[in-house]
Structure formats: structure tokens, C-alpha cells
């Protein structure tokens, strides 16, 4: 039995202690003895599985990460927005490899090199987990999410691809293993954080309790309670790397205590189905939002407009620029969205689009398949 190791942001170590410490190699899809194994590393399938389908189509939803004080450890999936992947067994593709055949949708400027594409990286990682050496795959990616939107665009592509590979070979891997495969992709494009990829794959709210080892906890929002997200996306790109670079390197103890209490309130609100308390906690970040909001034209005015219109809370979705507000009624959400759109134009001179979405409780899933 072999194991698949994942790149760690900390200093790599060797399986076989060298006489002198080597320089860390660049992240690669090729096996390397200098990748540090996490405690949650998945064991490869002992016997290479046969494909059970010749073709599958999967969908992965958009996600809202951070949720204010939950920076890098809390996120949720939202219904109705996301990416699709179509994956086929392709004899023309070299065995053990994946080829990206087509990219359509909101953007076509993504690389078709699977080593430089979120979907390709996640697909390769999943193939490695399964030990696929005898079959080649071709992949079509349909983007439903724009790049740099703050809605987990890269995670949606990675999640859809990882699930597609897993499905075509008979669903041998569990969801946490697929999150690890998606993290391979996230690590290359936006950093080693799971608050997008975990809910994209698992659905609902997901708490990342630990990264080493990876420890995920799904938080169940009560079935009998309503929760709606008002998502307002302006015509403005906020690259994740740029927005992360703006974060403070040190924070006052008083802000640490405050954000910790708000994050705890956020988790309690999810478990209790208390949309009002969830919104209040979501709006109360004193560490990340204050440094990022000034970089998004009109964001402060948008938050004020949402709250004045009756939203329980409002903050930046992920790294932005999308603003997210929460409410417990769809009709009220539509009115709030209109006010937020007006505020983006008035305060930031930005056109924007509003949508009202429910919580996606399923996560990435199979849409259709063709049996062998």
C-alpha cells in the first residue's frame, strides 16, 4: 500500500533523512520524497479500480468563505451557482493522465494545461489517490462562476473535477479524501486553505478544526429553519493573493478576543438555526474585513445599505469583491439586494448583479452518467 503526500506550507522533510538538508522543490504533480506527509494523508487504493462509466457530468456549488470572523476556518455552500465538469474515458489520452479538451462559460482564459488548471490539478490528485495507471481521461470544464469573485471559483472547478474522477471509477474515495485532492489545487492558486473546497465538496457549513492533520466538521443548519444569502457581485476583480497580502501580520489581543467570541457565536447560530444571530456575528469581524473593505470600491456603503434595508448581517464573501448579506425570507432578500446594487453604484461607481440563494446542503455531486 502506498500513500499520497500533500504539499505542506511548512518546511518539507524527507522520508529518508539526507546527509544535508535539501532545498524544498517546487510543488509538482509528480511524486517527491520531499513532500511532508500530513497525518490525514489518504492511502491509495490497493487494486486499481476499473471505470464503471464511460462518461460523467458533475456539478460543484459556489461557496462563501470566512463569513466574517471565520477567516480560513469556516465556509458554506450556496445553491444554484457553480461549475460543471464532464469527464470521459479517452483512449487517445495517455494512460494515467488527464487532458483538458474544452473550457466554456464565464471565462475561457484559463489554461488548458492540466498542471496549471484547478480542475486538472484536482483530477490528477484524485487519480493518484485511486492509483489510476491504465486509463486516460479527457475533461471539459464549464465555468458558471467568474474568476476573482469571492465565491470560490477555483474551489468549484477543483471540487467538480475531483468528484467526477471518483464517480467514474466507482466512488472509492470518501469526501475528506476529495477535499485533500482539492487542496492540492487550492495550494497552487490561492493558498492552503479549505474554507471553500470543503463546503464545495461536502455541502452546508463546514468548520476546519485543524489543517495538520486535516480535521473537518460539518455544522448542520436545522431543516425547519430558513436561511437566504443575498449575493451582490460588482464588476470588479479582487485577486485572492492581493487581498491576502493586505491582511495585518499582527492583531491586538482585544481584537483576537472579540473575533474569537464572534466566531463562537457564528457556530452556535448555525447549529441553532438562528439567522439573526448568524448575521450579527457575521457582521462583527474586526480583523480581516476592516483591511479588505477599503480595497473594494463602495463596500462600506453596501454593508450599510444592507443593514438599513433589514439584513441580519453583511460582510465580504471570501476575499471579495462579492458582498454577502443574510436574511430569513427570499422576498426580503430581493429588496435588500436592490439596495446593495444601488450602493455599489453610488459609493463605488460599480455596476453589480444581485441574487438570492439558499444554503446548498449537498455539495459537489453527480449530475448524469453513461454506463460502460
**In terms of domains, do 190 and 276 share one?**
no
**In terms of domains, do 47 and 162 share one?**
yes
Check if 184 is active-site. no
User: Angle at Cα 44 formed by Cα 38 and Cα 48, nearest 5°?
Assistant: 165
Q: pTM of this prediction?
A: 0.86
- Rounded Cα distance between 296 and 164, Å, is 35
Residues 97, 167, 186, 289: which is the catalytic one? 186
**In terms of domains, do 97 and 24 share one?**
yes
Count of structural domains, the chain = 2
**In terms of domains, do 79 and 129 share one?**
yes
Check if 186 is active-site. yes
Digitized pLDDT (tens) for each residue of the chain, 372 residues in all: 333 333 333 333 222 233 333 333 333 333 322 222 333 335 456 789 999 999 999 999 999 999 999 999 999 999 999 999 999 999 999 999 999 999 999 887 899 999 999 999 999 999 999 999 999 999 999 999 998 899 999 999 999 999 999 999 999 999 999 999 999 988 887 778 899 999 999 999 999 999 888 899 999 999 999 999 999 999 998 777 788 888 999 999 999 999 999 999 999 999 999 999 999 999 999 999 999 999 999 999 999 999 999 999 999 999 999 999 999 999 999 999 999 999 999 999 999 999 999 999 999 999 999 998
Q: Could you give the C-alpha distances from 40 to 3, 110, 264, 276, in angstroms and in order? A: 10, 31, 25, 36
Enclosing domain of residue 294: 228-358
Residues 58, 63, 86, 240: which is the catalytic one? 240
**Residue 83, C-alpha cell as written in the block:** 461549475
Amino acid at each position: 500500500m502506498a500513500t499520497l503526500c500533500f504539499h505542506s506550507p511548512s518546511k518539507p522533510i524527507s522520508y529518508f533523512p539526507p546527509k544535508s538538508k535539501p532545498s524544498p522543490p517546487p510543488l509538482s504533480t509528480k511524486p517527491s520524497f520531499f513532500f511532508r506527509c500530513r497525518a490525514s494523508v489518504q492511502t491509495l487504493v490497493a487494486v486499481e479500480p476499473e471505470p464503471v462509466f464511460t462518461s460523467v457530468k458533475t456539478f460543484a456549488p459556489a461557496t462563501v468563505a470566512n463569513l466574517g470572523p471565520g477567516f480560513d476556518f469556516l465556509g458554506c455552500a450556496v445553491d444554484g451557482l457553480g461549475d460543471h465538469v464532464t469527464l470521459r474515458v479517452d483512449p487517445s489520452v495517455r494512460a494515467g493522465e488527464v487532458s483538458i479538451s474544452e473550457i466554456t462559460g464565464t471565462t475561457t482564459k484559463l489554461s488548458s494545461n492540466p498542471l496549471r488548471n484547478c480542475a486538472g490539478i484536482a483530477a490528477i490528485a484524485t487519480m493518484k489517490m485511486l492509483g489510476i495507471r491504465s486509463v486516460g481521461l479527457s475533461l471539459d470544464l464549464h465555468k458558471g462562476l467568474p474568476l476573482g469573485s469571492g465565491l470560490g471559483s477555483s474551489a468549484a472547478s477543483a471540487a467538480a473535477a475531483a468528484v467526477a474522477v471518483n464517480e467514474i471509477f466507482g466512488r472509492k474515495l470518501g469526501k475528506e479524501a476529495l477535499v485533500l485532492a482539492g487542496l492540492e489545487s487550492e495550494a497552487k492558486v490561492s493558498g492552503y486553505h479549505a474554507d471553500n473546497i470543503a463546503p464545495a465538496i461536502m455541502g452546508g457549513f463546514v468548520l476546519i478544526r485543524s489543517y495538520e492533520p486535516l480535521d473537518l466538521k460539518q455544522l448542520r443548519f436545522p431543516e425547519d429553519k430558513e436561511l437566504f444569502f443575498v449575493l451582490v457581485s460588482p464588476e470588479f476583480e479582487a485577486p485572492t493573493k492581493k487581498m491576502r497580502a493586505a491582511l495585518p501580520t499582527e492583531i491586538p489581543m482585544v481584537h483576537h478576543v472579540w473575533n474569537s467570541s464572534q466566531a463562537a457565536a457564528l457556530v452556535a447560530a448555525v447549529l441553532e438555526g438562528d439567522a439573526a444571530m448568524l448575521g450579527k456575528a457575521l457582521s462583527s469581524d474586526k480583523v480581516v474585513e476592516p483591511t479588505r473593505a477599503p480595497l473594494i470600491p463602495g463596500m462600506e456603503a453596501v454593508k450599510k445599505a444592507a443593514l438599513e434595508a433589514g439584513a441580519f448581517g453583511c460582510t465580504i464573501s471570501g476575499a471579495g469583491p462579492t458582498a454577502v448579506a443574510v436574511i430569513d425570507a427570499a422576498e426580503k432578500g430581493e429588496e435588500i439586494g436592490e439596495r446593495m446594487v444601488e450602493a455599489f453604484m453610488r459609493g463605488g461607481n460599480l455596476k453589480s448583479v444581485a441574487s438570492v440563494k439558499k444554503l446548498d446542503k449537498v455539495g459537489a455531486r453527480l449530475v448524469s452518467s453513461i454506463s460502460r
